[in-house]
Amino acid sequence: MNTLAFIDAALDEDIGPGDVTTLATVPLSREGRGVIVAKQALVVCGQELARRVFARLSERMGAEVRYLPLVPDGAAVRMGDEIAHLEGSLATLLVGERLALNLLMKLSGIATTTRRHVDAAGPTGPRVVDTRKTTPLLRDLEKDAVRCGGGVNHRRALYDGVMIKDNHIAAVGSIADAVAAVRRAAHHLLKVEVEVTDLDELQQALDAGADVLLLDNMGDDQLAEAVALARALRPEVTLEASGNMNPERIRAIRDLDLDVISVGGVIHQATWVDLSMRITG
């Protein structure tokens, strides 16, 4: 679903056949101005999307309101800072307010949560990436929010990356056979990642020629051991760790020689941040 289709569906969801209250009280031609204010410290995300929500709604209602961002996506702001101004048709502003705020609060929540993880990893530590644990139909937006927070994205979906897990291995018979089967079928620009949970699987995956290893759900000590072994056997392999990650643990393991830490929680444990719209005239 491209962005315009998403916005249309979201407007349909909240407005349907019309905003009963606003249509009865505010003429389309009445002018108004508003400001969006941060009610807490946060990392901003969703400015361009909010702008497009109001642009599209203006077109649908035939009365324009303009959304003027005051800070870029990715900016850290303090409680009380103004995020954006709006000016134009008051009716359009009021009808679109909820959708725009819902998007900004949700996406900024993810960006703010991600930033805490990224800061924990430090400027020279592993890259912090998301997972496929995303809200259905909002994956693109949520992955954008991770980038606003300073994170990097993992593969988008099942179609643009190979990740061999235990069930795939069981179906084929061995790690070596699974890697070989995928190499035959996948296009030659995709690396092959294998999920391993102990040192024996790690050894097999390296022997099979995996490009990337996912060290899944290991304790800190086992993780250190796994990294050391992998680097000894094949230094250039990409090493990703996952499982029960949070800022504290990331800080604890950031000096292991990991390339990537993947954290579903930057998206699914993020709650919305608090923003409010105030009409100013």
Q: Which residue has the tokens 């409680």?
A: 79
Q: Which of 37, 36, 69, 70 is nearest to 55 (CA)?
A: 69
- Shortest Cβ distance from residue 248 to a second copy (Å)? 17
Residue 14 or residue 82: which is nearer to a second copy going by CB? 14
Q: Are 30 and 95 in contact (CB under 8 A)?
A: no
Q: Which of 141, 103, 142 is nearest to 263 (CA)?
A: 142
> Can 64 be counted among the known catalytic residues?
no
Residue 70 or residue 172: which is nearer to a second copy going by CB? 172
Q: Which of helix, strand or coil describes residue 193? A: strand
- Shortest Cβ distance from residue 159 to a second copy (Å)? 4
Q: Are 70 and 57 in contact (CB under 8 A)?
A: no
Question: Would you give the end-to-end CA distance of the chain in angstroms?
Answer: 36
Q: How far apart are CA 90 and CA 159, in angstroms?
A: 44
- Catalytic residue among 51, 66, 132, 133, which? 133
- Shortest Cβ distance from residue 190 to a second copy (Å)? 6
- Shortest Cβ distance from residue 78 to a second copy (Å)? 20
- Catalytic residue among 64, 216, 225, 274, which? 216
- Catalytic residue among 165, 200, 255, 278, which? 165
Q: Which residue has the tokens 């999307």?
A: 49
Q: In this structure, what token pair is assigned to residue 75?
A: 């900016």
> Can 165 be counted among the known catalytic residues?
yes
Q: How far apart are CA 182 and CA 195, in angstroms?
A: 14
Q: Which of 5, 68, 79, 35 is nearest to 277 (CA)?
A: 35
Query: The sheet that has 212-216: what strands, in order across it?
Result: 127-129, 260-262, 238-242, 212-216, 192-196, 162-164
Can you give the C-alpha Rg of the chain in angstroms?
23
> Can 195 be counted among the known catalytic residues?
yes
Q: In this structure, what token pair is assigned to residue 270?
A: 């993020």
- Catalytic residue among 19, 87, 130, 195, which? 195
Q: Which of 64, 98, 82, 66 is nearest to 272 (CA)?
A: 98
- Shortest Cβ distance from residue 113 to a second copy (Å)? 10
- Shortest Cβ distance from residue 242 to a second copy (Å)? 13
- Catalytic residue among 98, 191, 198, 220, which? 98
Catalytic residues: 98, 133, 165, 195, 216
